[in-house]
Amino acid sequence: MDKMIIRRMEYYGYHGVFEEERKLGQRFYVDLTLELDLRKAGQNDDLAETVNYAEVHELVKGIVEQKSFKLIEALAEHIASSVLDTYTMVDALTVCVTKPHPPFDIHFEGVTVELHRSRK
């Protein structure tokens, strides 16, 4: 299966278990790997035969920046279902949501949740 990979979309959202996170907000990164047939788009050079990644960016932006979830797992699940519902030509996808600076008194680069969903 062909893939369209959209890397490191950056948003500011209000997600987290702690009230401060949902009040103050923080940066989140989203990576998407969309599995779909890209043959016709490649052969015909026609945007109508593929997924417009600028539109995907705006869809994900609306979810990350306008909704609030306690868990990034829930955020990732919502992104996955919304993309599959909106873009019927996508057969499956992988969603990675990264919280780069979790509010813990330990030092690590961040935490990422990755999930794979398909129509089957």
pLDDT score, position 110? 86
- Averaged confidence pLDDT in the chain: 95
Q: Is the pLDDT of residue 26 over 80?
A: yes
pTM: 0.94
120 is a catalytic site residue: no
pLDDT band with cut points at 50, 70 and 90 for residue 103: confident
Which neighbouring-strand residues pair with 92?
35, 118
Q: What is the pLDDT of residues 51-67, one digit of tens each?
A: 999 999 999 999 999 99
pLDDT band with cut points at 50, 70 and 90 for residue 108: confident
Domain that includes residue 40, residue range: 3-118
Domain tally for the chain? Answer: 1
CA torsion 55→3→43→40, rounded to 10°? Answer: -70
Distances in Å between the Cα of 77 and the Cα atoms of 40, 43, 114, 117 are 29, 33, 10, 9
Q: What is the mean pLDDT of residues 37-55?
A: 98
How far apart are the C-alpha atoms of 46 and 43, rounded to whole Å? 8
pLDDT score, position 120? 78
Q: What is the CATH number of the domain that holds 69?
A: 3.30.1130.10
Q: Is the pLDDT of residue 107 over 80?
A: no
